Each structure stands twice: as C-alpha cells, then as structure tokens.
Chains A and B, each alone.
Chain A
Amino acid sequence: MTPAVILFPGSNRDRDMIAALTKISGKPPVLIWHTDTEIPNVDLIVVPGGFSYGDYLRSGAIAARSPVMREIARRAAKGVKILGVCNGFQILTEAGLLPGALMRNAGLRFVCRQVKLKVENAHTAFTQHYWDGQVIPCPVAHHDGNYFADPRTLRALEDNKQIVFRYADDTNPNGSINDIAGIINKKGNVLGMMPHPENLIEADHGNISGRRLFESVLEVAASEAA
C-alpha cells in the first residue's frame, strides 16, 4: 500500500499531507517532483494544497501543464486513485481531469476557518467509511474555492452523484455553486476537494474525521491490488 505525493514549486500543504499519509498507511509516501515524467507503481496519488507557481495566470494553471501531470492523466485513465486537495483540486480541474473551474471567492477574501461538510455520496472509494448525509467539520484555507460549472455540467454532476461533499449549514465560505466542496470524476477514481481532510487526523487536531477518507481509499486500493 504505497501512496505518492506530488510536489510543485509553491506547494505548502505537502508536509501535512505526508504526515497524514505516513500516520495512516504506516510508511512515508513516495515524493514526486513536478518535472518527473515517471511515477513508480503506487495505489494513490495525492496532489496537495499550496500556491503552485504563486497562483500566476490562474490557480493551478501552470502546474496543470507540468511534465508529471501527463503521467498522472495516464494513471487516472488506468483507474489509479487520485486525490487533489485545495490547490490540488484547482490543478486537477485545470488539467481537465475533473470538470468545472475554481474561481476567486465571492467575498474576495482568503478564508481560513472551519466549515461543515455534508457527505453527499458515501459510496465512492474515498468515502466508504462515512455515511450518506453525515456532517463533519473540516478546515478550509483558500482564496480561489468558488466552484463553477455550466448548467449542463452541473446537472450531469448532480445526476451522476459526482458531488461528494457539500458545504452544510450555511457554511459555504466562497460562493461555490450548489454549495459544492468536492467532486469526483465519472469513473470514480479522481476526487478533488477544497477542504483539508489531512488536517483532521489525530486527536490533537481536535477531531479525526478526516482520517476516514484516507483509510477508505487506502483500503479500497489495497483490496483492488490484491
């Protein structure tokens, strides 16, 4: 059971992600630099948060065109589990691995606070340890988390149950359409989300409800590899 974490210049949530994955999978993840064109055999590829390339042009735009992303697209097509958190979500949408776009927060401010997340689909590889309708606390920290998709794409996301997490109880921090906080691709192996589950891993974080996401996907990936 080996996860990998992709590093871009300007990533800054990579350490939290590495700590979380190490704690949960029992060994440190493989670290992949953005110029690498090959990724070893791994069961989960994580694109962490941060400010790749200083958010120049558009958040995630330049990182999405870096060499390593071509290999990530190939792995995604093969069914390897891919998780993008925060800037990672922005990168996955910019790379076309997830639909829609993440725009400037409606309030124009960087938001760093705890929100409530409703698990809309507990039947994905990433959410099997939650239940449908479960509401969990989760921190967000972003400037461009305002999810947008055209009406047709949005309808398809709703119809296919691709909206995995929604901001609950009026805690939408960014104006995101339909309160969308996280979506999965149609095939069910690429998840992008703005909130940071890697920051709710141990009791000292105040809550461990982020653990289940990693436990779920690592368990599913292990059973598929067996």
Chain B
Amino acid sequence: MIKARITVTLKNGVLDPQGKAIEGGLASLGFDGVGSVRQGKVFDVELDGDDANKSERDLKAMCEKLLVNTVIEDYAVEIVV
C-alpha cells in the first residue's frame, strides 16, 4: 500500500479572508509578530499497490480533476510510505 499526502494552498495573489481572520485570532491571543497566515487543506490518501510512480501520476490526476481548483489553488503531492 502507498500512503500519500496532498497539500493544497491558495495561489499567491488570491485573497484569503479565512487566513486574515485567523491572523486576527492569533493577535488577540497575544501572539505578536505574526506576519501572515494562509489557510490550506491536506488530503491523506491510501492507494493499493506499490508502484510509487504510478501512484504519483494518479494522485496528480486526482488533484487536477477534483481535489484542487487550479484557478485559485496550488498543490504538492508527497509519497509518505
């Protein structure tokens, strides 16, 4: 079995109102010096088989077709095991 982690982040230049609200929350807790916060998503995916190259190709296709909106988001695929 192959385990993978997909990290999805907002593209540079895309405003992130949720990140801004979290920044405000951190500031009100007294954490000074937080430059900025951007919120993203993580998907942990388990795949049958043990062909890491094929899995990586499949995972990228999954990102392009559903998991990521490439208009506003970037992604990184990492094979964990």
Cα separation A154 to B18 with both chains bound (whole Å): 23
Given A57-B66, A61-B66, A65-B66, check contact A149 B17 (CB 8 Å): no
Given A57-B66, A61-B66, A65-B66, check contact A106 B17 (CB 8 Å): yes
Size category, B interface: 10 to 19
Judge whether B66 and A105 touch: CB under 8 Å: no
Cα separation A104 to B66 with both chains bound (whole Å): 18
Considering residues A65, A100, A101, A106, which has the most beta carbons from chain B within 10 angstroms of its beta carbon?
A101
A110 within 8 A of B: no
Given A105-B17, A106-B17, check contact A57 B71 (CB 8 Å): no
Judge whether B69 and A58 touch: CB under 8 Å: yes
Q: How many residues of A contact B (CB 8 A)?
A: 21
**Which residues on B sit within 8 Å (CB–CB) of A58?**
69
**Which residues on B sit within 8 Å (CB–CB) of A107?**
17
Judge whether B71 and A104 touch: CB under 8 Å: no
Q: Is the interface of A mostly helix, strand, loop or mixed?
A: loop
A103 within 8 A of B: yes
Judge whether A103 and B66 touch: CB under 8 Å: no
Q: In whole Å, how far is A58's beta carbon from the nearest beta carbon of chain B? A: 6
Judge whether B69 and A101 touch: CB under 8 Å: yes
A164-194 vs B, Cβ < 8 Å mask (1 yes, 0 no): 0000000000010000000000000000000
B72 within 8 A of A: yes
Judge whether A175 and B69 touch: CB under 8 Å: no
CB proximity to A under 8 Å, residues B8-37: 13-15, 17-18, 21
A150 within 8 A of B: yes
A108 within 8 A of B: yes
Cα separation A150 to B71 with both chains bound (whole Å): 8
Cα separation A148 to B16 with both chains bound (whole Å): 11
Judge whether B21 and A148 touch: CB under 8 Å: no
